[in-house]
Structure 1
Amino acid sequence: MLKWITGLVAGLVLATSSAAMETAGDWHGELNIQPGVSLPLVLHIAGSEPDWQVSLDSPNQGAFGIPGSAEKMTDTQVTLKFAAIGASYEAALEDGKLAGTFTQSGKSFALTLARQSEEGKEKAKQAAARPQHPEAPFPYTVEEVSYPHTSGAFEFAATLTLPDGKGPFPAAILVSGSGPQDRDETLMGHKPFLVIADHLTKAGIAVLRFDDRGTAKSGGTFAGATIDDFSTDVASAFEYLNTRDEINQQKIGLIGHSEGGVTAPLFAARQPDVAFVVLLAGLGVDGTTLWAEQQRDMAVAYGLPNGEAIYQAMRVFAEQVIAGESPQAIEQDLLSKGYDKATAQQYLKVVANEWGRSFLTYQPEEVLPKLTMPVLALNGEKDLQVAAATNIGGMEAIFASSENEDVTLKILPDLNHLFQQAESGLPDEYGRINQTFAPQALLIISDWISSRVGE
């Protein structure tokens, strides 16, 4: 997914601790990030001195079994550290509860944990359910495959699913969003690419999904890669499918989600043999505008004031990054505008690099008109990371002046960035939703592809 940051702590995952046998068991509580925004946490403590086993669940983020270490254990005081997430928790056992402070990324929050009841355990189990995730045996062929990058420098690890029956089959390559993603685009317990692949393969469309470079089982290095580099990863997948006898080489298309809606068209613009392109939360505005809108919309949704000031500050920030200004100068400018040091440094870490400059300078009006194949673009109405109105509106304007006569653009009501049925559209809601990918969106995709490349 496209990266987002607000003045809040992003991606918080938390833990708690145990000081004596009285603290063994399961504990739960909520980390209040700001009024109206909280993150449920579940702490598991087992064992005894000196071999305590501590783990943490963050159900809304789909994170379970995060390991913790006990730095201090007494009858009344505990200190836990969670190295994997760069966090610590210090608490005292008071009136049967663990009351203390959770610290991560330089920010501290009060956190009180109470024992989890059996009813609470059952609710947590239901909240973590992902009913759309398919399970074996599958009514199609599943192959674990590998293939080289076009440069020959490293190999990708991937899964190819082939429909039941006799080929050759039309095929789709799934292209993930920003950040190192595995082949299922796993996020907060959801595996959207697994669900999409299952649905399409049952509909007679072969699907290739791959671990990003330098991620999971794929070789190469993720850090330092630009959107152009990632487009060569799409080229590598395309070349591989062209070597498979089971695949109809005239009917290989791309499905890109979020930043994949940038890298997929970058490749397709160079390769007219691509049979179709599906953009899921793809971009119809330039990278700088997307970044500024994203930070503004997210902040306003979390209740922060001065949305327009945030938008303007983020445009200036993007321009400074593109111009190559020093991180120190950019940080000082953000501090002068009221951003705290931890948030300023997080912005710089995410965007002030080669990837960030390549993304911020992306211009869809230079890429999308070069797509000569059928194009389907879907955006969720409640997407706060890639705003539907401006991005679909931007695509409408771009394609209106192109020669491509087979372009379908849709805004899907009530769907968020992951194409789940949502209430707020906020990222901290993703993990609370059992649905991984709205069935109506799956049907739109499969029906549209079948109508273009079906037998």
Structure 2
Amino acid sequence: MKTISTLIIVFILSIVSLYAQEISGDWSGKAKRGDKEITFVFNITQEGANYSSIMNVPTFRIFGIKPATTTYTNGKLTIDGSNLGMSYVANYNAELQQFEGTYKEGGIEMALNLKKGAVEVADQRRPQEPVKPYPYYEEEVMFQNKEANITLAGTLTLPSKEGTFPVAILISGSGPQDRDETFMGHKPFLVLADHLTKQGIGVLRFDDRGQGASTGDFGNATTEDFSKDVLSAIAYLKTRKDVDKKNIGLIGHSEGGIIAPLAANNTNDVAFMVLLASTSISGTELSIMQSKTLREFPVKDEVTYEKNARKAIAIVTSDKSEPEIKTELTAHYNAFIRPILKDLNVPEKNINAFIENQVNTSIKPWSRYFLQYNPADEIEKLKIPVLSLNGSKDTQVNAKINQNGIREALIKGGNKDYKIIELENLNHFFQECETGKMDEYRKIEQTFSPIALKEVSSWVLEHVN
């Protein structure tokens, strides 16, 4: 009896030890997507009875992403990144001392096991990225958006520690971004900031709310909320003696290019603006356009497809309650999207995951605001100098359509100081490219075309006193 009792006690203690295990620290592992191996690292921190985590994907040079919630109960780890469109659910295997689970993002599912400890990552720096020590002054800064009760963290670079300089604030594109706008193994804002600072123009770039070292909830924020973060950055720069307060400008890329006018029209402290791959059509029209040009599946009838896409947007932007919209939108996607994917022999569970992800993304505050926002209305109000650059091979934002809209809005508003240039053979991120398609971004070693960099810096220098 004594032996059996002892074994039971040991067994019970081992279970208690497992469920009360200290999981704080780095957990890393690799998942396979086709022939590609993707490395994930989750840094888990215990905060009282709760947990939080930071997700890094070194393969794609993505760092500092904050999932919404992290829970660990009875050996089950759940990392809910609904704010990012991802999730990881796993159970702890005591024998192998690892978490075994599934990583989901959109309609993609990958088996992912995590072991304690970080992984060594080879230096994947692209050729244009600067190497420290830099020939200019760099400072890590933090500032407040008091209205939203959040702290934004960033990097300020100035030509020198001594003096007073014009400063451009960089505004990132859609989705959660760090201060370098890291994507597909590139850091375009790091390269742009380095170039501008070397030309005598200071730069402030910062992590989006809820990303990197910035606090706040990215998932429930809108384009308008992000414009208020920019206004907070302007207010911060005005407190510094080394910033020329009469020459603070905004440089926005992609969605950043529609955030910039919104911010500028709510302050008198913006002296100039650069729009990089910016749009000038409503979110609805852009979404319709992208749904046809960027989708990953063919359709038999484009007219019917567009009609159904517009119906989905009408549902999302209606005045109905969120549960009503979710129910109606799910039914519409089941009638509209499911047959298309079934004809392509997509597995049922993948169709379900795709539709669920589409619905959850569509009902977020950002989507509902974006679909109803027309940047041309704000561009028309601009009375400051404006430079607009788009790449001729941009497959995400059509250069001609959107630059025509920008030009018409500026003319309508009576703006006399603007320059609009379509740069040949550049994609959405201003890389010299072959096709401009999104799957090409990672393969290109260049991060930011020197031609585009020079266009920006030369124009800014012409417009600062």
Q: TM-score, normalised by structure 1?
A: 0.73
- In structure 2, relative to structure 1, the CA distance for the partners of 1:224 and 1:385 (3 Å cut) is same
Give the drift of 1:425: 2.2
Give the drift of 1:273: 2.7
Give the drift of 1:144: 0.6
Q: Which residue of 1 aligns with 2:309?
A: 314
Give the drift of 1:15: 2.0
Q: Which residue of 1 aligns with 2:331?
A: 332
Q: Where does the alignment leave 5 or more consecutive residues of structure 2 unmatched? A: 1-28, 41-55, 64-77, 90-101, 112-120, 339-350
Q: Distance in 1 between matches of 2:176 and 2:209?
A: 8
Matches within 5 A, 1:243-392: 243-299=239-295, 306-323=301-318, 324=320, 325-339=324-338, 340-392=351-403
SS of residue paired to 1:237: helix
Task: Give the counterpart letter for 2:154 in structure 1.
Answer: A
Give the drift of 1:384: 2.1
Whether the 8 Å CA contact 1:382–1:414 is kept in 2: the answer is yes
Give the drift of 1:214: 1.5
Q: Which residue of 1 aligns with 2:31?
A: 15
Matches within 5 A, 1:44-443: 61-62=60-61, 104=104, 128-151=124-147, 153-164=149-160, 166-299=162-295, 306-323=301-318, 324=320, 325-339=324-338, 340-443=351-454
SS of residue paired to 1:193: helix
- In structure 2, relative to structure 1, the CA distance for the partners of 1:180 and 1:204 (3 Å cut) is same
Whether the 8 Å CA contact 1:380–1:415 is kept in 2: the answer is yes
Deviations 1:247-270 (A, max 9, x none): 111000000111111111101112
Give the drift of 1:103: 8.6
SS of residue paired to 2:196: helix
Q: Distance in 2 between matches of 1:349 and 1:154?
A: 25
Q: Percent identity?
A: 41
Deviations 1:337-370 (A, max 9, x none): 2344332222222221211111111122321111
SS of residue paired to 1:214: coil
- In structure 2, relative to structure 1, the CA distance for the partners of 1:451 and 1:305 (3 Å cut) is farther
Which stretch shows the higher mean deviation, 244-253 or 311-320? 311-320
Task: Give the counterpart letter for 2:277 in structure 1.
Answer: A
SS of residue paired to 2:388: strand
Give the drift of 1:407: 1.5
Q: Distance in 1 between matches of 2:106 and 2:171?
A: 34
Task: Give the counterpart letter for 2:401 in structure 1.
Answer: T
- In structure 2, relative to structure 1, the CA distance for the partners of 1:416 and 1:303 (3 Å cut) is farther
- In structure 2, relative to structure 1, the CA distance for the partners of 1:282 and 1:106 (3 Å cut) is closer
Give the drift of 1:105: 5.4
Q: TM-score, normalised by structure 2?
A: 0.72
Q: Distance in 2 between matches of 1:444 and 1:295?
A: 31
Deviations 1:407-451 (A, max 9, x none): 111222222221112222222222221111111111110011011
Report the structure number with the largest CA radius of gyration: 2
Q: What is the root-mean-square deviation in Å for CA atoms of aligned residues?
A: 3.2
Q: Distance in 2 between matches of 1:63 and 1:270?
A: 32
In the alignment of these two chains, the number of paired residues is 369
- In structure 2, relative to structure 1, the CA distance for the partners of 1:390 and 1:398 (3 Å cut) is same
Whether the 8 Å CA contact 2:386–2:417 is kept in 1: the answer is yes
SS of residue paired to 2:31: coil
Deviations 1:3-55 (A, max 9, x none): xxxxxxxxxx9725xxxxxxxxxxxxx72xxxxxxx733689xxxxxxxxxxx
Whether the 8 Å CA contact 1:41–1:57 is kept in 2: the answer is no
Whether the 8 Å CA contact 1:150–1:235 is kept in 2: the answer is no
Q: Distance in 1 between matches of 2:307 and 2:329?
A: 14
Structure with larger RCO (C-alpha < 8 A, sep 6+): 1
Give the drift of 1:201: 0.2
Task: Give the counterpart letter for 2:316 in structure 1.
Answer: V
Task: Give the counterpart letter for 1:269 in structure 2.
Answer: N
